[in-house]
Amino acid sequence: MELILKKNKPLIENYEDLKNRKLSKFTINGNEFSAENTKRFSWKRLSEEAALQYWTEEVTPSLITIKDVYPNASEKKPESEIKNAIGFYESREDIKNETKRRHSTPRINIREIEKFGEVICYGSFAGIDDVMLAQGLLNLYGSPSDEIRIQYSEQQKNRHKRTHPKDNSQKVEPTQEDFQIIGLNTILYGPPGTGKTYAVKMYKDTLLLNQSASEQLYNFEGLSWREAIYLAYKERNFEALSVKEIENTEVVRAYAKTKKSKSIYGTLSTTVIEHATEDSTTSTYRNGRDLFERIKDRWALTDAGKIEAEEVFSNAKEIGQTKDYYYQFVTFHQ
């Protein structure tokens, strides 16, 4: 897939569009960069090369603001849109201070760029952050004919993809007839690499179709109400939810048992409104972080909210561990 950035052209891509996409290559005014000719090739390389492109002896890239990224936006964009796109500053300490001010993710990756004997720093988290920085640089310092062409994978990266055994060329999917000969307890035997584990997984997936084969375990220590709400959205596949629907999710009910809130509904409602977009509420208690937006009578996560939610989900040691029931696999070795 291709994304073309031009000076003052509206940037319509968002976090979800580039989530887990692999950057293939990019071209800045005819100069091509790819994994073949560029070290440490990643989305962060995009903002770095864009900064180097527009860094001259007369002009050093400086602060990129929301107006620099979206100069001609039809509606006002909240600053939280670029909370993880932080550039460009003179030191790492400046970046760290800015992450605190913007309530950025603590997982911001800070990098240094050197040219003309000077050093500037920037920080980013996801691919969209580097695209925003590149767009801001293009809008600030580029000419009308300048463009940045970005090519990235059409499919999202599967970070946890595993196949067993290694050679799947001879695999045959189990049929319904196969299931009819399986007893309550079945022993599979054979040398390593003959597909025993793979076969069991296929049987399990088919036999337990439309059933939950795992039990969710939660460690709520240090978890805030807002983060519990994020887990509720994950449980409901990120669909827009009413406060009552959030309250009725399994994870929120479990979390509430660890708290002393007299009104779960009230606490949830207050938490959502405090972090809602300006257009979604008239409350004077909103803090400007813009994590939730109202869609009719329900609430949905904004792009900024989804980024924060991903951070909660990724902490596997704390949240979202599972254990299987209905199913147990035991291996014996001679």
For 281, the token pair is: 């509420």
* Model pLDDT, residue 308: 84
Reduced to 3 states (helix: H, G, I; strand: E, B; else coil), residue 161 is coil
Residue type, 330: V
| Cα 68 to Cα 62: distance, rounded to the nearest angstrom | 11
When computed from its CA atoms, the radius of gyration of the chain, rounded to whole angstroms, is 24
* Selection from 254, 250, 219 nearest residue 234 by Cα: 250
Q: In sequence order, what are the residues at sequence separation of 6 or more whose Cβ sits closer than 8 angstroms to the Cβ of residue 204? A: 213, 327
- Distance from CA of residue 225 to its chain's centroid? 20
> Is the pLDDT at 89 greater than 90, yes or no?
yes
Reduced to 3 states (helix: H, G, I; strand: E, B; else coil), residue 242 is coil
Top mean-pLDDT range of 48-57, 199-208, 301-310, 319-328: 48-57
CB atoms within 10 A of CB 154: 8
Top mean-pLDDT range of 1-15, 27-41, 179-193, 207-221: 1-15
* Model pLDDT, residue 258: 87
* Selection from 67, 51, 173 nearest residue 119 by Cα: 51
Mean pLDDT of 110-132: 93
* Model pLDDT, residue 273: 92
| Cα 286 to Cα 124: distance, rounded to the nearest angstrom | 25
- Go through 194-204 and write b for each residue having 16 or more CB atoms within 10 A of its CB, e for each that does not: ebbeebbebbe
* Model pLDDT, residue 328: 63
Residue 220: band (very low, low, confident or very high) from pLDDT cuts 50, 70, 90: confident
Domain-wise residue ranges, the chain = 2-152, 176-211, 216-322
* Model pLDDT, residue 66: 92
| Cα 329 to Cα 153: distance, rounded to the nearest angstrom | 36
Q: Where is pLDDT greater, at 181 or 242?
A: 242
pLDDT tens for each residue of 25-41: 999 999 999 988 777 78
pLDDT tens for each residue of 256-289: 998 888 899 999 999 999 999 988 988 888 888 8
Mean pLDDT of 140-155: 93
Mean pLDDT of 40-56: 92
Reduced to 3 states (helix: H, G, I; strand: E, B; else coil), residue 3 is strand
| Cα 133 to Cα 207: distance, rounded to the nearest angstrom | 49
Q: Where is pLDDT greater, at 109 or 215?
A: 109
70-84, 128-142, 216-230, 278-292: which range is least confident on average?
Answer: 216-230
> Is the pLDDT at 57 greater than 60, yes or no?
yes
* Model pLDDT, residue 244: 93
Residue 177: band (very low, low, confident or very high) from pLDDT cuts 50, 70, 90: very low
